[in-house]
Amino acid sequence: MTTELLIAFLASTAGAATPLVVASMGELVTERSGVLNLGMEGMMLVGAVVGFGVTLSTGQMSLGLLAAMLAGMAMALIFGFLVLTLQTNQVATGLALTLFGIGLSAYMGRGLVGQTVAPMPHLEFPLLSQLPFVGPLLFRFDGMVYASLALALLVAYLLARTRLGLLIRAVGEAPQAAHAIGYPVIGLRYGTVLFGGALAGLGGAYLSLALTPMWVEGMTAGRGWIALAQVVFATWKPRGVVLGAYLFGGVTVLQFHGQGMGLAIPAEFLSMLPYLATIVVLMIICRNPQTILLNKPVSLGQNFKPE
Q: 162: exposed, middle or buried (C-beta count within 10 Å: 0-12, 13-18, 19+)?
A: exposed
φ and ψ at residue 262, rounded to 5 degrees: 75, 30
Lowest mean pLDDT among 33-37, 92-96, 248-252, 265-269: 265-269
Instruction: Return the percentage of the chain with pLDDT > 70, whole number.
Output: 93
What is the number of alpha carbons within 13 Å of residue 306 lying toward its C-beta?
15
As a whole number, the mean pLDDT across the chain is 90
Q: What is the distance, to the nearest Å, from the Cα of residue 91 to the centroid of all Cα atoms in its chain?
A: 18
Residue 201 and residue 69 in contact, taking contact as beta carbons nearer than 8 Å? yes
Most confident option among 180-194, 220-234, 240-254: 180-194
Give the pLDDT mean for 17-45. Answer: 97
Using one digit for the tens of pLDDT, what is the confidence trace for 120-146? 998 888 888 888 888 888 888 999 999
Distance CA 141, CA 10 (A): 11
φ and ψ at residue 159, rounded to 5 degrees: -75, -30
pLDDT on residue 264: 62
Name the pLDDT band for 109 (thresholds 50, 70, 90). very high
User: Secondary structure of the chain: what % helix, strand, coil (to 5)?
Assistant: 75, 0, 25
Q: According to the 3-state scheme, what is the secondary structure of 186-231?
A: HHHHHHHHHHHHHHHHHHHHHHHHHHCCECCCCCCCCHHHHHHHHH
Instruction: Name 203's Cβ contacts closer than 8 Å, sequence gap at least 6.
Output: 18, 19, 20, 22, 23, 26, 44, 47, 223, 227
pLDDT on residue 145: 95
pLDDT on residue 267: 63
String of b and e for 213-233 (b: at least 16 CB within 10 Å)? Answer: bbbbeebbeebbbbbbbbbbb
pLDDT on residue 250: 87
Question: Is 1's pLDDT higher than 60?
Answer: no
pLDDT on residue 209: 96
Question: Is 280's pLDDT higher than 60?
Answer: yes
Query: Which CA distances in Å does 190 have to 76, 138, 159, 227, 297?
Result: 9, 37, 17, 20, 17
The whole-model pTM stands at 0.93
Please give the radius of gyration of the chain, using alpha carbons only, rounded to the nearest integer: 20
Residue 196 and residue 42 in contact, taking contact as beta carbons nearer than 8 Å? no
Lowest mean pLDDT among 220-224, 245-249, 266-270: 266-270
Instruction: Name 219's Cβ contacts closer than 8 Å, sequence gap at least 6.
Output: 45, 48, 207, 208, 212
Distance CA 39, CA 93 (A): 8
Give the pLDDT mean for 277-293. Answer: 72
Give the pLDDT mean for 87-109. Answer: 96
Nearest to 124 by CA among 148, 145, 146, 141: 141
Question: Is 283's pLDDT higher than 90?
Answer: no
Give the pLDDT mean for 158-177. Answer: 95
Question: Is 206's pLDDT higher than 60?
Answer: yes
Distance CA 90, CA 101 (A): 16
**Type of residue numbered 27:** E
Name the pLDDT band for 36 (thresholds 50, 70, 90). very high
CB atoms within 10 A of CB 306: 9
Distance CA 296, CA 293 (A): 5
